[in-house]
Amino acid sequence: MDHFQIINGELHAERVPLSRIAEEIGTPVYVYSRATLERHARVFNEALSALPKKHVAFAIKANPNLAVLRVMQREGFGADVVSGGELARALAAGMPGQDIVFSGVGKLEREMIQGLDAGIGQFNIESEEEGIELAAIAAARGQRAACALRVNPDVDARTHEKISTGKAENKFGVPIDRAAGIYARLAALPGLDMRGVAVHIGSQLQHLQPLEDAFIKVGALIAELRANGQTVTHADLGGGLGVTYKAGEVYPTPAEYGAMVARVCGGWDVTLMFEPGRVIVGNAGVLLTRAIRVKRSSNNTPFVIVDAAMNDLARPAMYGAWHDFEAVRPTGQRMTAHIVGPICETGDTFAMDREIDALVAGDLAVFRTAGAYGATMASSYNSRGFVAEVMVDGDQFAVVADRIVPEAISAAERVPAWLD
Ligand code: LLP
């Protein structure tokens, strides 16, 4: 459930008409609903209420905006970060270092140091090589880095191939059949405090079975590690829960997920850790856009050219993803159209032959479910700027990220003297 609804014929975010945001801030603009963010965080927490020891780390990559992170922090969430930049954001949002987990296959030396400086709660180690490097850095500083070993369970998450992470051919984690040996070797290093295992098999998951299959393998690994005399106090189950992008699609609910976790992992006697991203923020945001013009095509299906483009919302171009498209003031009339942006390549297409609310030039519309992997994946391609972000709270709203104009981007560029 979200708080984007038609009131008196116009789509609102909570109690703010979207036309008001368009008039004051301009378009395109991302609009987030605080009430929706809070609701999703609480529903997720509630779904895990049967678990005695748990830690929820919001996957910042899904939406790193500082105001969004502050909402997460107020809900008691820590952060899953994958770069020094994300780590700095988590700290800036007030998340305690202890509540931060650092994932990623390519952590740099300076990022490891940054994590140790911040006293983060856990590094998720993705290779033996990385563990050895971190151990040396921590030992040289007289520290022990708390770590989990990320395993690759070789499970097909049955999602888009570009966001599947748990198959043997994916770059993530260590092969689960080699994990016990690697864990023992890393645990013997004085710079590391090996405290558990981590797994994340992919994103936008529509089925719980692959997750359950992966968790069963992790449970067996934990038993094996303990039988070998290793200590295991934490198990990080990653993120991945899918959300509805297209009306009618059915996804597992957080409650169903929580019940599965309790059934499969409830007896592990560990702190269970979670890294949800999309399920918290996806449906808490829309991308508000304006139709620039409607152009007739050769076969008479019109192109609706909107002012948002693939650089603002990359998911349709990158993954062929569907985002529902709705008029801000629907008249009840419908049309079939192609929805495209202004960028000079055919990939800048949001939808082909889509039945949508009838629109004319100047009308406002939204792409739904744009709160996750939306603004954060933007680029400045075609020398377009970065769009503004707004958060709504009841009947008020605030700009939570300024629009970055193309001139601000080119101001960082230099023509060397030898070209003069
Ligand atoms: N933990 C780890 C280690 C991850 O790699 C990810 C996402 C998450 C947690 C959060 O997963 P979520 O709960 O959001 O599914 N750009 C793509 C999604 C990439 C996901 C990458 N990893 C998209 O727009 O669909």
Tell me the per-residue pLDDT of 266-292, one tens digit each, with 9 for 90 and over. 999 999 999 999 999 999 999 999 999
Distance from the alpha carbon of residue 148 to the mean position of ligand 1, in angstroms: 18
Q: One of 1, 247, 250, 344 is an active-site residue; which one?
A: 344
Q: What residue has token string 């779904």?
A: 47
Tokens of 243: 């959300």
Is 1:346 a contact under the CB 8 Å cutoff?
no
pLDDT score, position 368: 98
Average pLDDT over residues 160-187: 93
d(CA 333, CA 310): 27
pTM here is 0.97
Distance from the alpha carbon of residue 153 to the mean position of ligand 1, in angstroms: 17
Average pLDDT over residues 370-376: 98
d(CA 336, CA 76): 45
pLDDT score, position 275: 98
pLDDT score, position 179: 98
Confidence tier at 18 by pLDDT (50, 70, 90): very high
Confidence tier at 169 by pLDDT (50, 70, 90): confident
Q: Which of 291, 287, 305, 289 is nearest to 362 (CA)?
A: 291
pLDDT score, position 47: 98
Ligand 1 pocket test, candidate residues 159, 162, 203, 236, most atoms within 8 A of CB: 203
Distance from the alpha carbon of residue 202 to the mean position of ligand 1, in angstroms: 7
pLDDT tens-place string over residues 50-59: 999 999 999 9
pLDDT score, position 328: 98
CB atoms under 10 Å from CB of 267, counted, come to: 9
Q: What residue has token string 């498209």?
A: 325
Ligand 1 pocket test, candidate residues 40, 61, 257, most atoms within 8 A of CB: 61
d(CA 134, CA 106): 12
Could you please report the per-residue DSSP string of 132-166?
HHHHHHHHHTT--EEEEEEEE------S-GGGB--
pLDDT tens-place string over residues 235-263: 999 999 999 999 899 999 999 999 999 99
Distances (CA, A) of 103 to 35, 112, 118: 29, 11, 15
- The answer, yes or no, to whether residue 183 has pLDDT greater than 90, is yes
Average pLDDT over residues 121-150: 98
Average pLDDT over residues 312-335: 98
| Ligand 1 atom nearest 160 alpha carbon | 25
pLDDT score, position 167: 87
Q: For the chain, what is the mean pLDDT?
A: 97
From the CB of 59, is ligand 1 less than 6 Å away?
A: yes
pLDDT score, position 166: 86
pLDDT tens-place string over residues 146-167: 999 999 999 988 888 888 888 8
d(CA 228, CA 225): 5
Confidence tier at 204 by pLDDT (50, 70, 90): very high
Q: How far out from the chain centre does Cα 252 lie? A: 18
- The answer, yes or no, to whether residue 77 has pLDDT greater than 90, is yes
d(CA 351, CA 372): 19
CB atoms under 10 Å from CB of 320, counted, come to: 10
| Ligand 1 atom nearest 62 alpha carbon | 14
Q: Is the dihedral of CA 320, 255, 284, 327 positive or negative?
A: positive
CA-derived radius of gyration, the chain: 23
pLDDT tens-place string over residues 330-349: 999 999 999 999 999 999 99
Average pLDDT over residues 195-212: 97
Average pLDDT over residues 180-185: 98
pLDDT tens-place string over residues 93-108: 999 999 999 999 999 9
Confidence tier at 299 by pLDDT (50, 70, 90): confident
pLDDT score, position 168: 86
